[in-house]
Chains A and B, each alone.
Chain A
Amino acid sequence: MVAPLVVVLDRDAGEAAYEQIASQIREAVATGALVPGSPLPGVRTLATDLGVNFNTVARAYRVLEEQGFVIIRDRSGAEVATPAARASRQARAMLERELWEVMARMRQAGFSERDLRKAAESCLDRLKE
């Protein structure tokens, strides 16, 4: 039996519940655990199962939709989106800026150039095409 994917909320994590949900779904998509077209539970179902407000799950899905990870299908649920064929100029500018900020922070935190390359390669290895 293939274990079903599970979202775990940690109330002590300090990170907002919607962000925890979004981040775990992003991780599953990025690693290929969720492939494009995979159905996701409806907002109502996931909120009921987790015991959190509908708005928390709806906000997580909205964030994921804005970032191109999911397509929301009215009340019946959502599905994992296919990655864009080409990055738009706007997406490229914004995400490169975010990557630049992360790398700057890593360098400040003591990563050497070799560490940075290693970290980037490890991320690339985990990303499923």
Chain B
Amino acid sequence: MSETTVLALIIVFEVLLVGGMLLIQPFVVRRGLVFGVYVGEAAAEGDEARAIRRGWLATMVATLAAAGGLGGLMLALKLGPPPLAALVPAIVLVLGSYGAYIRAHLRARPLAAPGAPTTAAATLSTADPSLTLPLTSLAVALAGGLAAVAYAWVSYPDLPPQVPTHFGPSGRPDAWSPRSFSSVMLLPLTTLLLGTAMAVMACLMTRAKRAIRHPDGGISLAAQQRFRQVSANYLALVVIVMTAMLALMSIFAIRTGLGLAAGMPPALMALVAVLLVVAVGGGLYIALRYGQGGARLERPAASAPLTNGLADNSRWVLGIFYVNRDDPSIFVEKRFGIGYTINFGNPKAIALVVAFLAIVAYIVVAGVTI
């Protein structure tokens, strides 16, 4: 496959799959929420809310067309270095979707339900989602990560002065760097730290705040429980496949350096494909089958009001950031989009995010400097 074909495929993937994921967002949110504003269950189905959704949809379709068109044009006219043709659509998508969201959010604000909700409801049910798969993913992340780190550590003295640090599509090395802690340990440490951090998040997700409707006869609770379970299991599966992939890459990078292998094994490409299918397919499946927070499962009770933090506009900044010092929650479900955000009013949640960002920053900085 030529580089142009690969780039064209990446652009199509970005526009169709990522764009598709973005487009379904307002249609899988929990009823009562319009672009991060709680307007009440009836108003969310009213004419004004529909008009805001239509306006957003038009902006998003234009954004997708601009992203695809610009990428295709850059590729056809060979403008700039080739990878830029795939990067520009991604940037257009990110900026365009945030812009469209903020505009829709500001339009939805005047519809906001007045005042903070005076009641908070919580279930006395003790049925928590199972931790089996999230804990398994934690064990896999630790075992795979430690094995990769240990192998790199033990092999370090035997490595040549120049070690392979980049591999081409064929799996053969195409870039080398001087042997150093970063150039040898970056991938094993990434395997260990990223996998462990994500597995811990999967475990915490099973215990995320349950934002129920009341009174609804328990329908929203059942929907929330199933959503929590499937979200945590999804992340756990991603961690397991990602750890297998990164551990294999770490070990074969070292083996190539030692002259024991010619490059990455063919099985690696299969793992990359599995990871893509699990990550993208799983995300789409959860959005369409469950909806955000189980929104699609709770439809029989969707006219009962939302409770607690999710219904409290005074606790949300731009409908994106939840800030509530009185709430001990770490993870809370997003008002817009699929999955969870953190409670920025909780120091523990902030510490968790800072730790995660530190890991990502280390990977990026070390990756750029080797």
Chain A residues engaging chain B, CB cutoff 8 angstroms: 1-12, 25, 28, 34, 39-41, 44-54, 77
Contacts and interface: CB of A to CB of B under 8 A. Distances in A.
A8 B126 contact: no
Contacts of B122: 6-7, 41, 46, 49-50
Contacts of B324: 51
Interface string B119-153: 11111111010000000000000000000000000
Nearest to B308: A51
Contact of A1 (B209, B217, B328): B217
B126 A49 contact: no
A71 to B, nearest CB: 14
Interface of B: 118-126, 128, 207, 209-210, 212, 214-215, 217-219, 221-222, 308-309, 324, 326-329
27 contacts: A1-B219, A2-B218, A3-B217, A3-B218, A4-B123, A4-B218, A6-B121, A8-B121, A10-B119, A12-B118, A34-B124, A41-B125, A44-B328, A45-B126, A45-B128, A48-B207, A48-B328, A49-B122, A49-B209, A50-B120, A50-B122, A51-B209, A51-B308, A51-B309, A51-B329, A52-B120, A52-B326
Contacts of A39: 126
Contacts of B308: 49-51
Contacts of B210: 49
B328 A6 contact: no
B87 to A, nearest CB: 40
B329 A48 contact: yes
Contacts of B120: 8-9, 11, 50-52
Contacts of A5: 123-125
Nearest to B221: A4
Contacts of A48: 207, 209, 327-329
Nearest to B123: A4
Contacts of B207: 45, 48
A6 B126 contact: no
A121 B317 CA distance: 53
A40 B124 contact: yes
Contacts, number: 89
Contacts of B209: 48-49, 51
A28 B218 contact: no
- Interface hub of B119, B123, B124, B308 (most chain A Cβ within 10 A): B124
A2 B207 CA distance: 22
A20 to B, nearest CB: 10
B368 to A, nearest CB: 39
Nearest to B310: A51
B214 A41 contact: no
Given A48-B209, A53-B328, A11 B123 contact: no
Nearest to B209: A48
B326 A8 contact: no
Contacts of B118: 10-12
- Interface hub of A3, A4, A51, A53 (most chain B Cβ within 10 A): A51
A16 B121 CA distance: 15
Contacts of A50: 120-122, 308
A6 B222 contact: no
Contacts of A49: 122-123, 209-210, 212, 308
Contacts of B212: 6, 49
B214 A6 contact: yes
A4 B124 contact: yes
Contact of B327 (A10, A40, A51): A51
Nearest to B215: A6
A25 B324 CA distance: 26
B340 to A, nearest CB: 13
Nearest to A21: B122
A11 B314 CA distance: 15
- Interface hub of A1, A4, A7, A28 (most chain B Cβ within 10 A): A4
The 3 closest A-B pairs by CB, nearest first: A49-B122, A51-B327, A4-B125
